[in-house]
Structure 1
Amino acid sequence: MVLALGYFDGVHTGHQEVIRTAAAIAAEKNCALGVMTFHPHPKVVLSAETNENNMRYLTPLSHKEECLQEQGPDYLFVVQFDKQFASKEPQEFVDQYLIGLQAVHVTAGFDYSYGRLGRGTMETLPFHSRGRFGQTIVGEVTRNGEKISSTAVKECIQTGDIEKAGSLLGRPYSIRGVVEGGEQRGRTIGFPTANIHKHDLYIVPAPGVYAVRIYVGGRWLDGAASIGFKPTFHDEAPEDPVIEVYIFDFNQDIYGENVEVCFYTFIRGEETFNSAEELIEEMNRDVEKARTVLAARSDVPGTS
């Protein structure tokens, strides 16, 4: 088996290069392709400031597993990252998880580390391999001179640069959740929205309005999403930003439906309006901008 190693949050284009490299070697050696990842994020176990409740992911585990499966491995290994695993010496990790799986070759990014305190690196892996498997280091993957990394993608999302985030990911950033009952205020102003409750600990884009597509009822539909704290109607902001999607030309009851929202373009930041009438005027402009953006794009998710 050829194994691709990494945490792979986001399964971005840099991660995809690691897996593609492993796939090419597996084809050359006529053997199986495996991908090994970990959960939860090491910070949850090793950092006093981080826990599973305040950690935010580009791709929570179930979403990441699906993205990794789309890369076509024969095997996907998800290793539980806990204190016992974190305490393993580099040689123990290699013996148990790489040699133990009878890997004949391993690929990983140049900054991959393993073993207690991350003391194992791609430079030490030839020693720890005991000559049982080969190694390939995938160098830094860049776009326009900038390193592609999960950190870079997160920064783009959190600042509203959702188009750049999609470019680094190789697909639009998306959040999965369920449609739940909201304040239903949108219905009173002519913009009924689907209130999205996130399934998991996703990073939420910066407050504002976005052109989106939403997967519901077995199809992708165009819409405009509002993320924020509804300052026009609330003096106090809720703890978490609200995600609402106005689906164009749609009037079905979808409460309780599981959905996925793909973010394409940032239209404007969150604003406070003096009246509902001003808000309605701006929302009409938002919808027209979103329609124009989406009409110009052919990359509907889930199609080829």
Structure 2
Amino acid sequence: MNKPLLIQLSEPPVVAQTEERVFAIGKFDGIHIAHQTVIRRAVDISILLQASAAIFTFDPHPRYALTGDERFAQLLTPLHERAEVAATLGMVTTVVATFDRPFQGQTAREFVCQYLLPLGARHLVVGYDFRFGKNGRYTPEDLLNIGKEFGLGVDIVQPIDFDGIPVSSSMIREELDAGDLAQVTALLGRPYRLRGIVVKGDQRGRTIGFPTANLALSENYVLPKLGVYVVDVWITGVQKRAVMNIGKRPTVYDAGAVTIEVHILAFDDDLYDQQIVVDVLHYVRGEQKFAGLQELQGQLREDAQVARAWHPTLS
């Protein structure tokens, strides 16, 4: 697979492009199974029309930009990862528009004429709940009517249900907060992923036989609830089983910032300054305060056994 093309626009494109594109339009935070339906529809249409398939999305998250709600400053899938996942579904390009006041205040016609047509749009695909323009006043039906005026085809994808409820990014955020990784994986169609750089910690884990990689996240991710997880770690393309703790380490510190520590089973190499990718698979237990390091050590052994049993063929 070729590296996906990521185009970031702080204002409307100045030069019209000649390449014809079929756009899937939306926030696409998470690129969950409903998003994937929109994207695949756009890819299928692009093949029929012999055009290029592209995503049109926004940054920052519109709900953060409109309300200042800090929860939406955190993302399920940051931009570069969004482009990578979209590329696995057949998308050639991801276009990201800056969601600022001028962009928010556009009419539907301005959005089509100033952004989509200059980018070579020939056909558009959106979800049933897509809203755009000032105060989110415009609907997919508005886009359909304007599309007819400019010769743009528009497909509207109906909701995808999971247990009778339409799939949404908000649903995934709620399941992460509850620690239900099985539901999260089902809704995403893949494990929830974190990415970051290994930084030096206090090396206390090494003194009790459980060295950890301390992870500084590369993006402002939505974090699962505090606790211990079975995870898979990818180190330069090699998959390893591990135990991850997200928490404040109450046995060692009375209070502190949330840290992410990963103990990779049967692995003791130096990972400082390396980027690792963590797929979060299973919630094991909540964070606990132990009577001392010996009691903590015993619990860590049990956590490692849970991780080994989760996938016995993976060390």
Query: Which TM-score applies when normalising by structure 2?
Result: 0.88
Name the counterpart of 2:280.
263
Confirm or deny that 1:97 pairs with 2:108: no
Counterpart pick for 1:81 among 99, 103, 112:
99
Q: Does the 8 Å contact 1:91/1:115 carry over to 2?
A: no
Q: Does the 8 Å contact 2:40/2:90 carry over to 1?
A: no
Q: Does the 8 Å contact 2:227/2:247 carry over to 1?
A: yes
Confirm or deny that 1:65 pairs with 2:83: yes
Name the counterpart of 2:208.
189
- Segments of 5+ residues of structure 1 without an aligned counterpart are 298-304
Alpha-carbon RMSD across the aligned residues, in angstroms, is 1.7
Change (3 A) 1:48 1:253: closer
SS in 2 for 1:201: coil
Change (3 A) 1:243 1:16: same
**Deviation, structure 1 residue 131:** 4.4
Q: Does the 8 Å contact 2:83/2:93 carry over to 1?
A: no
State, as a whole percentage, how many aligned pairs show the same letter.
Answer: 37
SS in 2 for 1:235: coil
1:142-221 to 2 correspondences below 5 Å: 142-221=161-240
Q: Does the 8 Å contact 1:99/1:132 carry over to 2?
A: no
For residues 51-109 of structure 1, the C-alpha deviation after alignment (integer angstroms, 9 at most, x for no partner) is 9xx71100122222222222222332111211111111121001222233342221110
SS in 1 for 2:141: coil
Name the counterpart of 1:234.
253
Distance in 1, matches of 2:31 and 2:133, equals 22
Name the counterpart of 1:301.
none
Query: Which TM-score applies when normalising by structure 1?
Result: 0.92
**Deviation, structure 1 residue 296:** 7.0
For residues 160-197 of structure 1, the C-alpha deviation after alignment (integer angstroms, 9 at most, x for no partner) is 11121111111100110000011211011110000001
SS in 2 for 1:16: helix
Name the counterpart of 2:44.
24
Q: How many residues align?
A: 293
Q: Does the 8 Å contact 2:60/2:73 carry over to 1?
A: no
Amino acid at match of 2:22: V
Change (3 A) 1:102 1:60: closer
Distance in 1, matches of 2:270 and 2:246, equals 21
Segment drifting more, 10-19 vs 117-126: 117-126
Distance in 1, matches of 2:114 and 2:298, equals 62
**Deviation, structure 1 residue 41:** 0.9
